[in-house]
Structure 1
Amino acid sequence: MATWGYRGTAVITGAGSGIGRALAFALAEKGMDLALVDIREDRLEELRQALASNQRKVTIYARDVADRDAMRRLPSDVAADHDQVSVLVNNAGVALGGQFDQVAEDDFDWLMNINFRSVVDLTRAFLPHLREAARARIVNTSSLFGIIAPPGQAAYSASKFAVRGFSEALRHELDGSNVGLTVVHPGGIATNIATDARIKIDAPPEEIEKRKQSMNKLLRLSPEKAAKAIVEGVEKHRGRVLIGNDAKAAALVARLFPETYYRLIGMQMKGNDGT
């Protein structure tokens, strides 16, 4: 049976809600101290108070992961408050819907900076610290849309495929070292990502809201179950974790039908949406 072999502190970005918040509780239960990062200080403060009963050291850092200078300083800020960092969870992410030619360059860059560049920046910043731990792990959150690429998700899929490619290559580079890497592909997890998404379509506000509600209907699995699957994957040193039957099915269909998978998946998605 696998045992939890990580000690010290876990750094979690996007910790204020969803999977990041659930992971904070799950890792605290494993005995980890926590350094929690999110752009929303109110969410971080509420989480810190909720974690008080776990009797772990919890510090919060209200930072924008797209701020490169702030991310470069983060390891020293965390080191001033904590002992050894042994787990880094690059979880922060945003969504952006719309056909490629509808999405402005600034919006595309905004998403890529948060979803992908911050993963690279934080990995680069924390890797020297992780190498000092007896055992360490990097956990990078990709997506179901890092396995399949539906229309209207060119920017989001580009970022999540980039996270996947970066993570797989780095995992191979780290093979045999004290630092392991797990890339996570969540399916429809009940988080705020659809509600908070930027939607770039030529439509009235009520149509945009309707689309967000339709997407929310597909987000069924609880963040707590997702966090449990991630922790189990880390505990068992898995390189990839697929979360939810939708992610598992999509991975299989995409592997079997690499050029035509969306014909099958698209029909299924329409059926689930009631259209």
Structure 2
Amino acid sequence: MKLKDRVALITGSGGGIGRAIALVLSRRGCHLALVDINEEALLQTAEQAQLLGVQVTTHPLDVADREAIRQLPAAVHAAHGRLDVLINNAGVALGGTFEQVSEADFDWLMEINFHAVVRLTRACLPLLHQSDNAQIVNMSSLYGLISPPGQTAYSASKFAVRGFSNALRHELEGTPIGVSVVHPGGVATAIAKSARVPGSVSAKEIEEERSRHEKMLRMTPEKAGEIIVRGLEQRQARILVGADAKAVALLERLLPVRYWSILKQAFRN
């Protein structure tokens, strides 16, 4: 897929992997419609992308807002006249075991990590069908390949994204629209620090869990963004980001039930 003069819509583009993807795309000559709940961060991404000579529009909104999602494709079409790439990147994290996490917090995470992906994909499909060569890129996770304890909500959402993406790809065979699902390994973003945590979890437990997760975040967002965009250009069905994601994917394939007996020590150190 040639990205020059295409138009990409990216959610969660105010920072982290979303910003990195936006800047890699802009270096390829791809015009951008940027979405994030943080307007200030969104404008910073836009300023950096505009320096690379592409057209950029910003759309500050909460992806859990159904009406805002319904109206977004029309705003993108009015500004750019087309849409070729949809990147559902926005996501949140939630710590705690299933019994610690409230129903409200579980639903909050699913709204952003999964239902927003489905709604925006549905809203954008008519525009994507007008393209001669389009791609949907949905962000799953390492935890969309394996399911560690303490990640019931997050893992459920990322497995849901994976299943949705795979089935949608099969349904869209024979059309100009491809679907990629992305499984990043340990990428150094702020998601662990900004994770919502139940009130029943002690401050010590929170700090220990965050420290464990941050030790695994080794890859820069910039490198992850380049890998993801290369996968988009090659229209890969599955994009594994990092050696850790590739190793875990292989282990899960070999030991689909028993993988945790091998991985749990590494995750607890």
Shorter-chain TM-score range: over 0.9
Counterpart mapping for 1:1-275 below 5 A: 4=2, 7-200=5-198, 202-270=200-268, 273=269
SS at match of 2:181: strand
Structure 1 residue matching 2:99: 3-state secondary structure: helix
User: Does the CA contact (< 8 Å) of 2:212 and 2:267 recur in 1?
Assistant: no
The structural deviation recorded for 1:237 is 1.4
> Which amino acid in structure 2 is aligned with residue 128 of structure 1?
P
Distance in 2 (CA, whole Å) between partners of 1:33 and 1:79 is 12
CA RMSD across the alignment: 1.3
TM-score normalised to structure 1 length: 0.95
The one-character-per-residue Cα deviations of 1:7-30 (angstroms, maximum 9, x if unpaired) are: 431000000011100000011111
Cα distance in 2 between the residues matched to 1:6 and 1:200: 45
Q: Distance in 1 between matches of 2:54 and 2:199?
A: 45
Quote the sequence identity (%). Answer: 52
In structure 1, distance between residues paired with 2:6 and 2:253? 38
Q: Contact 1:6–1:86 (CA<8 Å) still a contact in 2?
A: no
SS of 2:183's partner is strand
Count residues with an aligned counterpart. Answer: 269
Matched-pair contact (CA < 8 Å) for 1:190–1:216:
yes
Residue 52 (structure 1) shift: 2.6
Q: Secondary structure at the match of 1:112?
A: helix
Letter in 2 for 1:67: D
> Which runs of 5 or more structure 2 residues have no equivalent in the other structure?
none
TM-score, scaled relative to structure 2: 0.97
SS at match of 1:198: coil
Distance 1:51 1:168 in 2: 31
Question: More deviation in 32-41 or 207-216?
Answer: 207-216
Q: Unmatched 5+ residue regions in structure 1?
A: none
SS at match of 2:51: helix
**Separation (CA, whole Å) in 2 of partners of 1:67 and 1:202:** 28
Task: Say whether the 8 Å CA contact 2:76–2:82 is kept in structure 1.
Answer: no
Partner Cα distance (1:175, 1:29) in 2: 29
Partner AA of 2:226 in structure 1: K
Contact 1:242–1:248 (Cα < 8 Å) also in 2: yes
Task: Report the alpha carbon displacement of residue 200 of structure 1 after superposing the two structures with TM.
Answer: 2.4
Structure 1 position 5, deviation (Å): 5.2
